[in-house]
Structure 1
Amino acid sequence: MNASIGADARLALDLALTVRHDGHGGVADDLATVEGLTAWVRERPETGAHGFEARGFVVDDTDLAAVREVRAAVRALFARAVLPGEPSPADAARLMPVRDAVERLNTRAALAPTVPVLSWTEGADPVVRQEPAHGDAELTAALARAAIAFLASPDRQRLRACHAPRCVRYFLKDHPRQEWCKPSCGNRARVARHHERHKKTA
């Protein structure tokens, strides 16, 4: 994935990419179980940048349902962001309405209020950062805030859905001619085009 993107974009994309191709023509869900979500969060220290502490994190079924709801909202808004291009085929036929997706993200983001915290080290200017008002923020609030920040950023304009055969990923376009999320998808797409051309001339 793009090395130069910010923490918001990375976290929002990572959440969307928990829906992926399973290697056998279907779609896999990394967040199908509480164990899957627990592992996913623990592998992402960047959630700390959003007020959520991942170390020692364990979820229950309520947390899992809430995160999956945030992910559904993110993927619906990603589908809108890539217009007039096509959304990911993984959920193109069952996307949450945009109005509902926006409302869900805003509602979840509001679950963890923040307060300004001043720090002022010797020889430096004062710095103010926002921190959760009650220690740990809700995971869903951290994910929703990352998605909101990403969708409101200029990086949103680089968002694309990969339409290589069997791929269901979203990615940020690194250069003007980039069509696929990774080289292996480009190879598969070229092979598929080659076979399609030969079928038409056969």
Structure 2
Amino acid sequence: MNSRWALDLASTVRHDGSGGMADDLATVEGAGVWVSAHITPGASVPVVDEEFRERLVALRRAVRSLFARTVSPDPPSSADAHRLLPLEQALERLNTDAALVAVRPALVWPDAGSPAVEWEGEAVEPADAFLSALARAAIAFLAGPDRERLRSCPAPRCVRYFVQEHGRQRWCGTSCGNRARAARHYARHGGASRSEPRSESAT
């Protein structure tokens, strides 16, 4: 599983584009859509019911809590800054889910190919396998180089975490950059009166 999928999981909480919040995992149906888009080829598809959705949301809460710690001392996402898990609880949730599947490396060497590593383990429920893989993706992300570039988007109403692609990047995307600049412009000019149109020459 791609380590960036941990960022995908965190991003299931987002701005809905109209001033409110959206949660892609708020319903069983929404969780099912998200899971289906993140199944690795050949993996069994878990049954997405309410119990599984709650487990997935619990893992997301742990990941977002650890993301908030990562970006500190910058402020965390405002979406859940008031209900972040303590470090010990977030780590326990993440590590418990990662350990749902016991795997071991095995060297394979086909007659007409190069040696490679395959991961072997006991058969487990698809739900456990998916959550374990997702937790391991989060561990790989948080222990890897992308962690140093993780940021919380400071644009108004945005609640996303993102990986900074270059040193000058401040927002998660172009739309957030435009919104932040518009908010600064509005604040700098004190908010033009709606009854008095601003002159075309104003900056």
TM range (shorter): 0.7 to 0.9
Superposition CA RMSD, Å: 2.1
DSSP-derived class of the 2:190 partner: helix
Query: How far is the alpha carbon of 1:170 from its aligned partner?
Result: 0.6
Tell me if the contact between 2:66 and 2:90 (Cα under 8 Å) persists in the aligned partners. Answer: yes
How many residue pairs align between the two structures?
A: 191
- Report the Cα distance in structure 1 between the residues aligned to 2:107 and 2:15, rounded to whole angstroms: 45
Given candidates 137, 150, 154, the residue that maps to 1:163 is: 154
Given candidates 65, 68, 73, the residue that maps to 2:57 is: 68
Answering whether residue 187 of structure 2 is matched by residue 192 of structure 1, we say no
Aligned to 1:7: 2
Structure 2: unaligned runs, 5 residues or longer: 194-203
- Report the Cα distance in structure 1 between the residues aligned to 2:121 and 2:48, rounded to whole angstroms: 19
Stretch deviating more after TM superposition (135-144 or 180-189): 135-144
Answer 1 or 2: which has greater helix percent.
1
When residues 54 and 88 of structure 1 are mapped into structure 2, their CA distance, relative to the original with a 3 A threshold, is farther
TM-score (norm: length of structure 1): 0.87
Stretch deviating more after TM superposition (113-122 or 175-184): 113-122
When residues 43 and 54 of structure 1 are mapped into structure 2, their CA distance, relative to the original with a 3 A threshold, is farther
Query: How far is the alpha carbon of 1:129 from its aligned partner?
Result: 2.2
- Report the Cα distance in structure 1 between the residues aligned to 2:82 and 2:108, rounded to whole angstroms: 49
Stretch deviating more after TM superposition (118-127 or 98-107): 118-127
Structure ID, larger Rg: 2
Query: How far is the alpha carbon of 1:54 from its aligned partner?
Result: 5.5
Aligned to 1:153: 144
Structure 1: unaligned runs, 5 residues or longer: 1-5
DSSP-derived class of the 2:189 partner: helix
DSSP-derived class of the 2:22 partner: strand
Give aligned-pair identity as a percent: 55
Stretch deviating more after TM superposition (153-162 or 111-120): 111-120
TM-score (norm: length of structure 2): 0.86
